[in-house]
Structure 1
Amino acid sequence: MKLRSVLVLALVFITALAFSLNVIFLVGDGMSFNQLLLASILEGRVLTTMTLPYTGITTTYSADSWVTDSAPAGTALFSGYKTLNRAIGVPPDGTLVPSMYELAKKSGYNIGIAVTCRVTHATPAAVYGHVASRDDEVTLAKQLAESGVVDVIFGGGWDMFVPTAQGGRRTDGLNLIEMMTKNGYEYITTPEQLNKVSSSKVLGLFTKGHLDPVSSRPANQPTLDAMTKKAIELLSKDGKPFMLMVEGSQIDWESHANDFYGVWKEVVEFDNAVKVALEFAAKDGNTLVVVLGDHETGGLSLSKGGYTINVEQARKAKGTTQMFLAQYNISEKDKFMAGLKEWYGISVTDAEYENLKKIPASDLRRQLARFVGEKLGFGWTTFDHTAAPVPVYAFGPGAHYFTGFMDNTDVPKILMTLTRISSITFPVIKETGSGY
């Protein structure tokens, strides 16, 4: 009788897993409507992200500010709790709250992350981490290594995993890469290894720090869509349900720099990853794809006035201003001005050149980027984040719930309800957003 009961319970568990919903959650860091539309305009096509059938709008504020940073934004999106700026997985009262990924792992899910930043950076860390300050990345690396929550890990930042004597940042002497390989992870560091890997547990750290911007990324670093495709392959191969978090990490950084070219190319790379996710979901039939921004960065406007943007000229741009400044020295006036004409098609007056020359070297990149963008018709209000709402797009089973106006904490509550990994009651989405 006892054996029969055990067999019945096992069958129920296996059946529940078999029909559990896969979730691919793609986050464009710093991405809102205008970053997407900028890339769409310059590409001359509708982005894949824009074709998802259901669309909503979310507020992004943190527990202590209308303007969030990525740490509380990630906590809100993955756990359903507001917290203080800079905190990850720790609400203001100091308790630790599990992310939906941690809950899903306990329910039998495979878990993965694929990002273009360090895997200990704010957004990916919100999948598995709990710290009062996002700057404590050496602690986050230890939490990632010891928790075993994430099965497939793709991104950068091996420096957080090894001691200072080995070129890393750890002062505790721990080599977390060795620890993880002993615990069954296969460690890879190149795109070639990424293509070939077939293990169910993989630690892929392709750079010492963040991956290079996609505009200038060398061939020895993978693209986000390649990492996404491999992550889906590995997570889905054993038939268990899975959750994958993909981040277009550097949309945010190019928006911080007010660099229209950088934003354009980072959004396109992110959109390529969305395409990979959608192709799998369409074939699988049991996968929900959710795409959204965690907050807006830069206060991007798609006009500087005059009812126009010089789109054709912007499309001919040769690179970011970081790339430009690597080739041109502002002290060489004639070459510098000729370079701006060649790279961006803009003419610079003597007075404008003198104003640019007065900018401190540490601030030249972003001030030049804003100057170039404004010449072409793109405006920016800040070099920081804003409180602007962000879009959420969805495809697959349950996608229709991601419509209307909601708060970022509503997103994981819906996901946890759909996947049945939590007893959270389905949220009531107020017209003004929860938390007001």
Structure 2
Amino acid sequence: MKKVLVVLVILISSIYTLAINVIFLIGDGMSMNQLALASMLENKVLEIMKFSHTGITLTYSADSWVTDSAPAGTALASGFKTLNGAIGILPNKEIVYSMMELAKGLGYKTGIVVTCRVTHATPAAFYGHVMNRDDELVLAKQLSEADIDVIFGGGYSYFLPESKGGRRKDGEDLIEKMVKQGYRYLTKKSELDSIKDEKVLGLFAPSHLEPVTDRPAEQPTLDIMTKKAIEILSKSGEDFILMVEGSQIDWEAHANDFYGVWKEVIEFDKAVKVAIDFAGQNGNTLVVVTGDHETGGLSLSKGDYSILVDQARKAKGTTTMFLKKFKIEEKEKFIAGLKEWYGIDISDQEYESLRKTTTGELRRELARFVSSKVGFGWTTFDHTAAPVPVYAFGPGANYFTGVMDNTDVAKLIMKISGITTATFPKIGITGK
């Protein structure tokens, strides 16, 4: 009888702790309303919405109900709360390791795919340790020593010395250093085709990649980078962990630009499909999708029971793109442009109000104005404390249900995949 009980305990434990691949997709600034907006305008159910296991997460940081991306990323990467602005370091200055660092110590292949700088808050939470998220030159140094197998995103200026057109005042060429470590370095989308199974550093812009609505041909989309990353990481048959961020959903929501949010969510959703297609075929991969926080306080009406969905679907671009073509000082062209791009009319009073807006504020004031004309509302240009959804597919997906804290997402991923600190060597962190 005792032997039977022991066997049952072992079997139950093995169900909960598995050696599996993990693909963790994070939509920055994305909550349910951002997804619903994109679904509504696409007139279809998003891939994200097809997950059978869903939950809700609370996103507050250690010092505020409203988090920024640094502690939100830390919570999702490591399972610990920290202060707004801090990455991978607790309020008492203690370093905490991310699931990616722990996985690397256990022999996993690792990868990061983003459309922002690879030193930005969310990706940095998976390898970095700084009290101030703006210390991106320090984070670049830390990334160069993190031994991550696949790195795709932007921000090569943070890796280069000033003498080579970069931002580094210490004279270090971190790209050259990483090439000597065995990395293949890429700067163009076309170069992805030649990559097979080697370690790769793909930095496709000096800073962030351009928004998906206006991205040049040699900057890859998120789904293309995700597919290539999975191809490389899965080649050897070893377990891997990949973090993918839809980085710019947040920025379009900061601007209150419904069109930008729509298109960034769709780019992210395409990357989710890539992950699900692989996981469905592989059978040994956990896919988790969530947002790090909500941005903009997006509401799907102004309170009058109507959204002009058909009109919104015909929009021709973001307000950033619009303002490149139509100048606020050229009144007649500006007004005609709003009619052409968004199908909206503007009164003389509304025009004068926009015209008096300072240049730096015009984009978002115009975006909020355009949104209101088609029925979308916003409460802020910043983050909110709204809960965000979490979706899961694959081994252990059934645990991602109900209401949980964002730290629970990381803890569940690590527990299900068997990523622990048990055999993890001490990491030396530089650049403090």
- Please report the TM-score for the alignment, with normalisation by the length of structure 1: 0.92
- 1:205 corresponding residue in structure 2: 203
Secondary structure of 1:292's aligned partner? strand
- Counterpart-to-counterpart distance in 2, 1:37 and 1:84: 30
Query: Quick check: 2:28–2:250 contact (8 Å CA) kept in 1?
Result: yes
Identity over aligned pairs, percent: 69
Residue pairs, 1:229-378, within 5 angstroms? 229-378=227-376
Q: Which residue of 1 aligns with 2:130?
A: 131
Contact between 1:256 and 1:384, CA under 8 Å: does it hold in 2?
yes
Find the aligned partners of 2:360 and 2:205 in 1 and give their Cα distance. Answer: 24
Runs of 4+ in structure 1 over 3 Å off? none
Q: Give the corresponding residue for 1:144.
A: 143
Question: Quick one: distance in 2 between partners of 1:142 and 1:358?
Answer: 44
Matched residue, 2:9: none
Residue 225 of structure 1, CA deviation: 0.0
- AA aligned to 2:216 is P
Shift of the alpha carbon at 1:139?
A: 0.4
Q: 2:88·2:128 contact (CA, 8 Å) conserved in 1?
A: yes
CA distance in 2: counterparts of 1:59 and 1:257, whole angstroms: 23
2:182 corresponds to 1:184: yes
User: Conserved in 2, the CA contact under 8 Å of 1:48 and 1:275?
Assistant: yes
Residue identity in the other structure for 1:34: N
Displacement of 1:199 after TM fit?
Answer: 3.5
Report if aligned partners of 1:417, 1:423 keep a CA contact under 8 Å in 2: no
**Which residue identity does 1:137 align to in structure 2?**
E
The separation in 1 between residues aligned to 2:284 and 2:102, in whole angstroms, is 19
Distance 2:184 2:222 in 1: 20
CA distance in 2, matches of 1:254, 1:63: 26
Matched residue SS, 2:370: helix
SS of 1:379's equivalent in the other structure is coil
Letter in 2 for 1:197: I
Which runs of no fewer than 5 residues in structure 2 stay unpaired? Answer: 1-17, 423-432
Matches within 5 A, 1:36-115: 36-115=35-114
* Residue 196 of structure 1, CA deviation: 1.8
| Aligned counterpart in structure 1 of residue 151 of structure 2, from 150, 153, 156 | 153
SS for the counterpart of 2:93 is coil
How large is the Cα RMSD of the aligned pairs? 0.8
Shift of the alpha carbon at 1:423?
6.3
Q: Which residue of 1 aligns with 2:427?
A: none
Pair 1:402 & 2:400 matched: yes
Residues 115 and 209, structure 2, Cα contact 8 Å, conserved in 1: yes
Quote the Cα distance in structure 2 between the aligned partners of 1:69 and 1:345: 35
User: How far, CA to CA, are the matches of 2:77 and 2:328 in structure 1?
Assistant: 44
Q: Structure 1 CA distance, aligned partners of 2:420 and 2:83?
A: 24
Contact (CA 8 Å) 2:197, 2:233: kept in 1 or not? no
Listed one character per residue, the Cα deviations across residues 111-168 of structure 1 (whole Å, up to 9, x for unaligned) are 00100000000000001000000000000000010221x1100000000000011111
What SS does the corresponding residue of 1:127 show, helix, strand or coil? coil
> What does residue 11 of structure 2 align with?
none
Whether the aligned pair in 2 keeps the contact of 1:186 and 1:199 (CA below 8 Å) is no
Distance 2:309 2:405 in 1: 34
Q: Say if 2:121 is the partner of 1:122.
A: yes
Distance (whole Å) between structure 1 residues aligned to residue 408 and residue 303 of structure 2 = 36
